[in-house]
Amino acid sequence: MHTLFYIWRNLKRNKLRSALTILSVGFSLALMTVLNGYTAMQDAWGAESEKYHRIVVLNIQGFSGMLPIAYVDRVRGTEGIRAATPYAWYGGNYKDEQMPFAQFGCDPKAAFGVWDEFSIDPKQLEEWQKTRNGCVVDRRLADKRGWKIGERIPLKGTFYQFDLDLVLCGVWDSPKNTDSLWFNWLYLDEGLREKNAQGTGNAGTIFAQVTSSDATAKVCQTLDERFASSDNPTRTQTESAFFQMFADMAGNVRAYIFYIGLAVVFSLTLVAATSMAVSMRERTSEIAVLKAIGFSRRRVLVTILGEASSITFLGGCLGVALGCSFLELAHRAASQIVPLSVSEMLGPWLAYLLASAAGIGLVSGIVPAVRAAQLSVIDGLRRVV
């Protein structure tokens, strides 16, 4: 207990130096929290999607390739498929906002069979199914925008040469905030045909729900073999693998984060080591007095290491808090990009960050601590700081 009190007193001895060290560790760890939160979000999202046994069919060339709408019925007729729908990304602008939320063209009669964890009022679903230019949205998106049933939602095409004049027919509830709007795929296709524009007959992607996880691999193989000799061969994968594909487009992000983390830890260790070395030099005579009145080498060693670890650990707590706050704000402001809240991404990675912060203190303080522990009382009292 006396040792802890002494450590706390030393932390407050030079408040400016301690505060600056804590802040340097804190802001650096905040960056690492955001980066590691990104990978944790991918893991959590992938693990969540595996529960629903969904697969995604797209052209073997990716989004640049054509996926004929006729493929949807052929996917539905495959053994092991419970429901399937086209899922074409529209990417339009809403008023003066450029693609502020996700917009997809799908089949109103099949969409809630594929995403059966979503719930919608049956009357609203029926209204959407019979309204060609109707749409439905995630309830959190509707609340954020202040949209009511019957409201007109105009979307200006960017990739498609056809603007959508949508009518809100219903809102759905989902376990996670999707920040999405769904409209009838046929409305878009008919508009493109009237204008003789490119993109007609293209389903974009096909989302399907498989009857069980055991059947997923076989169904994916069957579909790809069925379309292998066609003009538009396919690549079928699980929903979690589909989301991972987006991360792979940016390269090996996890490796980048790992090497950035090593550089940050090394830099912080140098900063903390410099701070501790200066602090120990200023307190040489004090340490000699402590040893003279009975402090053992072990106690001196523990005290100094405890002080160094406490400073960096406090910085780590500050950094993790700042990083998590940023992730939560990003989730609320742009759930399309950050679909999960911090509470849904909690895991061992946060403990690893805090442990790294404390470890930085141990490594940075080991040399000053050993030198202080080995300092003789006579040599310490002779020095003038």
Span 242-253, average pLDDT? 64
| Residue 323 pLDDT greater than 50, yes or no | yes
Q: pTM for the full model?
A: 0.70
Q: Give burial (CB, 10 Å; 0-12/13-18/19+) of 238.
A: buried
Q: What is the pLDDT of residues 93-149, one digit of tens each?
A: 998 888 788 899 999 999 999 998 899 999 999 999 999 999 999 998 899 899 999
Cα–Cα dist 89/79, whole Å: 27
| Alpha helices (H) along 173-215 | 185-194
pLDDT at 385: 45
Q: H-helix or E-strand containing 174?
A: none
Residue type (1 letter), 271: V
Residue 334's CB is within 10 A of a number of other CB atoms, namely: 13
Cα–Cα dist 107/86, whole Å: 6
pLDDT at 173: 93
Q: What is the pLDDT of residues 22-39, one digit of tens each?
A: 888 888 888 888 888 877
pLDDT at 289: 65
Helix (H, G, I), strand (E, B) or coil at 362: helix
Cα–Cα dist 157/165, whole Å: 11
pLDDT at 172: 94
Q: What is the pLDDT of residues 43-73, one digit of tens each?
A: 666 666 667 789 999 998 887 788 999 999 9
pLDDT at 329: 85
Residue 29 region by backbone torsions, left for phi larger than 0, else alpha for psi between -120 and 50, else beta: alpha
- Using DSSP bridges, classify how beta strands 180-184 and 134-138 pair: parallel, antiparallel or unpaired: antiparallel
pLDDT at 285: 65
Token duo for residue 328: 């939560």
Q: What is the pLDDT of residues 348-377, one digit of tens each?
A: 888 888 888 888 888 887 777 667 666 666
Q: How many residues does the chain have?
A: 385
pLDDT at 181: 95
Cα–Cα dist 97/155, whole Å: 10
| Residue 277 pLDDT greater than 80, yes or no | no
| Residue 384 pLDDT greater than 70, yes or no | no
Mean pLDDT of the chain: 82
Number of H-type helices and E-type strands within the chain: 15, 11
Residue type (1 letter), 150: G
By the 8 A CB rule, do 236 and 223 touch?
yes
Q: H-helix or E-strand containing 384?
A: none
By the 8 A CB rule, do 88 and 205 touch?
yes
Nearest of 171, 186, 179 to residue 105 by alpha carbon: 186
Nearest of 152, 150, 359, 371 to residue 262 by alpha carbon: 359
Q: What is the DSSP letter of 232?
A: S
pLDDT at 68: 92
